[in-house]
Structure 1
């Protein structure tokens, strides 16, 4: 009996590791191996022709210095656009998520469905649609020009605001859903208690709703900022050569110039900046705030 009990305890200790094994294998094959390959490429030197390049691993750390010095403007622009788009997502998504969570009543699921519905259309098609909407001969430019918000020769397409608008629209769903989940978890009795204590609606929001919804704000901010910083579709279709983001540079280095070490180094520079930001967040606020 003692042997059976010992064997059962041993199996119970091994079982969690066996359950995690498929996930670890998946991460190893589709995350660790590609990252390792990208790292080797970023430290390699390239020789040969453009059509038949030869990569030689040579611990060439100079690729990182060149990547940052040559494309510093694009890196700064990418993070600036991503930050502005994230702030706009918060300003636009918070009222909508608040209404769905507290005011929608029986129409809650319907409104959520309508919010999610446009995002069943592929990312590229939605961006091309915005290119048509913001075109110089489109109704948006005409309407803004007629009320004096745009000069006669003014335009929206191929500007920084067009790119930021595209980023905001394409990633706002990742702000709405975490905010809605966070607001939905707030106990309505807390709001009733604040009103019983003669708190105004504005004070109840500032003292009860906003602090309790901060995990949703923070989670949504990460979910919007990280992909927006590496985006290249919006800058490619809605912007110009003056609004190029680091994602556009990486794409062209990989597919057009075929300078694979430079492209890999740029990818790691982008990942490093994002990783530092995420680590600073988790250190300051703790990952438990994201539940």
Structure 2
């Protein structure tokens, strides 16, 4: 497998490290050698000296020797160009870019199908939780009924701190200092990031990627300390939940994101800090829950590397 990587930030750096440290194990499982043909980043660092490096991502897109591209830039515009050109060039695409896929997924999935290549995106949802592969490959015999989850570690950390007596403002400052929140936390606290993720889970469950404007989104910014206090007196907590439900009669899919009260009898009650959890309800398996760290360079990188296995050994997820 000949790989090009575009974007060597926190996650990209960890991807290189995992492949380097676990190369023998990974290649044995894949059944073939992994060659990092070229890497691209906006800046050069000394640690890149052993790789073929470029500042121009187009060099990777135009390299005929590369069969799989890993895109880890973030954002929407340039990654959309990269994704389209990757697929049109009949190269496989691995990405952690949930925003890109939630907004442009229908176009990209069709491009992949038309050109006989694959898109995998395990790292786009749940960070270190291996949720997408089980949903698509292990639970598929079920008639899936509902998916709900805590899908944003930043929002969950803030709500956890508020449950412990902090104000929203102090909790956000704390999350930012610890690196859990971006400088602009809008996507996290307004529920947009959660919406991107529940949209992709819904697509894998039912084969329909909803238009993003159809999703009902409410974040956590309007929750007050008094709201949290009242919840606690009733042995409840607020959790920002993304939920996808299919109507069994009409087969209409509804997606929503909102702060939701959960009691001690709910498994999500004890999902605190930066942890994520996803619950999938199926006709045969009942309720299955997946739990783990929702963010972080090494956890997300592990998910990216796992997609290399799927490129070789799994059927395409595109419907």
TM-score range, shorter chain: under 0.3
Q: Which has the higher strand share?
A: 2
Greater relative contact order structure (CA < 8 Å, 6+ sep): 1
Q: Which has the higher helix share?
A: 1
